[in-house]
Amino acid sequence: MKFVDEIEFIVQSGKGGDGCVSFRREKFVPRGGPDGGDGGRGGPVIFRATERKNTLVDFRRNKTYRAKNGQPGMGNRMFGAYGKALVLECPVGTVFFDAETGDQLADLEAHDDEWTIPGGDGGLGNVHYKTSTNRTPRKAKPGYPGTVIRIRAELKLIADVGLLGFPNAGKSTFISRISAARPRVADYPFTTLVPNLGVVDMGAGNSYVVADIPGLIEGASDGVGLGHKFLRHVERCHLYVHLVAPYAPEGDPAELLVALNSELEKYNDTLLNRSQIVVLSKCDLLSDEEREKHVAALHKVTDAPVVVISSVTGAGVRELVGQVWKHLEDARLTPSPDDIAL
């Protein structure tokens, strides 16, 4: 299935049904009076988040989504039927914006979260307009129109850990080693063209989700390369794991780490407040002396823990997986300021 994480379309909730102009006409009931019923409310458009979907590709099928209109009222004070709701399922983590103004309209962060665009109210029947001076009103209200919005939907993946790095840093190999995810792995840049999610099983029913983000390059926050359009997917991560590889054309590991954090800061400076673990990958290519040299250089530019691994041989991978889990557990156990009683 094609990965689509941003799309625009129009939604329209249903129009309310018109009110009815009607008068009772029954044998032996003189001057029966008005009995026109109200129109039914128009159908709402309901967006519902579900874990069964992980892309917005379904919304490419139509450019406009309309709920059903309410039915008009009838005589004998009978109300018109409500319009049927249009329920549209979307992935967890979908954010909706008004495409015209850019205002955020809804953020569906959890399974079964809903956002409803209500339908128009039904019009009043003539039974509501009877007065002491107007016993035969021939007036009723039309139904109110539904709401029409041009929407821009953006998907922000829900993951505990975000894997970040320059192209060919070894992210895809690492996530395939620790989870059942099977992204494309090859010895050339930009083999990962879409984000990949992997679930790391820690046993005893415990697990965490890792997002492999396509490789960033310098200037990604300004729209250079592939990574810029996927930076939104790291906004919800609790922890960033920065993979830096030796012998990269972009520079040595310490320079790569500085560049990665710079791109995060340019995109959203609050992201630098998230916890990080720095990983020197592909250590099977290094001698012991070279490893020590790179680790020392990394410690000079970051206060985050530095771990050395090789996804090919497995060296350090188990330790890194455990360290990530411990960090996530500690974060869950640490109360936020809002949870502390004053």
Q: How confident is the model at residue 190 (pLDDT cuts 50, 70, 90)?
A: very low
Q: How far apart are CA 116 and CA 253, in angstroms?
A: 48
Q: How confident is the model at residue 223 (pLDDT cuts 50, 70, 90)?
A: very low
Distances (CA, A) of 198 to 52, 209, 227, 286: 15, 6, 18, 28
Judge whether 148 and 12 are in contact, CB under 8 Å: yes
Query: Is pLDDT larger for residue 216 or for residue 300?
Result: 300
Q: How far apart are CA 146 and CA 43, in angstroms?
A: 8
244-283 residue pLDDT tens: 988 877 788 999 999 888 888 888 888 888 899 999 999 9
Measured in residues, the chain has a length of: 342
Distances (CA, A) of 139 to 16, 19, 42, 72: 17, 9, 21, 14
User: Token pair for residue 40?
Assistant: 């039914």
Q: How far apart are CA 270 and CA 240, in angstroms?
A: 13
Distances (CA, A) of 321 to 173, 216, 235, 277: 14, 23, 21, 11
Phi, psi of 104 (to 5 degrees): -75, 130
> What is the predicted pLDDT for the residue at 218?
53
84-117 residue pLDDT tens: 999 999 988 899 999 999 999 999 988 999 999 9
Query: Is pLDDT larger for residue 205 or for residue 127?
Result: 127
> What is the predicted pLDDT for the residue at 159?
81
9-27 residue pLDDT tens: 999 999 999 999 998 877 7
Q: How far apart are CA 246 and CA 330, in angstroms?
A: 31
Nearest partner of 34 among 72, 73, 71, judged by Cα: 73
Query: What three-state secondary structure class fits 22?
Result: coil
Residue 328, C-beta contacts closer than 8 angstroms, at least 6 positions apart: 160, 161, 208, 238, 239
Lowest mean pLDDT among 172-186, 294-308, 316-330: 172-186
Judge whether 91 and 155 are in contact, CB under 8 Å: yes
Burial class (CB in 10 A: 0-12, 13-18, 19+), 135: exposed
Residue 20, C-beta contacts closer than 8 angstroms, at least 6 positions apart: 36, 37, 38, 39, 72, 73, 74, 75, 78, 80, 125, 126, 140
Q: How far apart are CA 280 and CA 300, in angstroms?
A: 14
Q: Domains in the chain and their CATH numbers?
A: 1-155 (2.70.210.12), 161-336 (3.40.50.300)
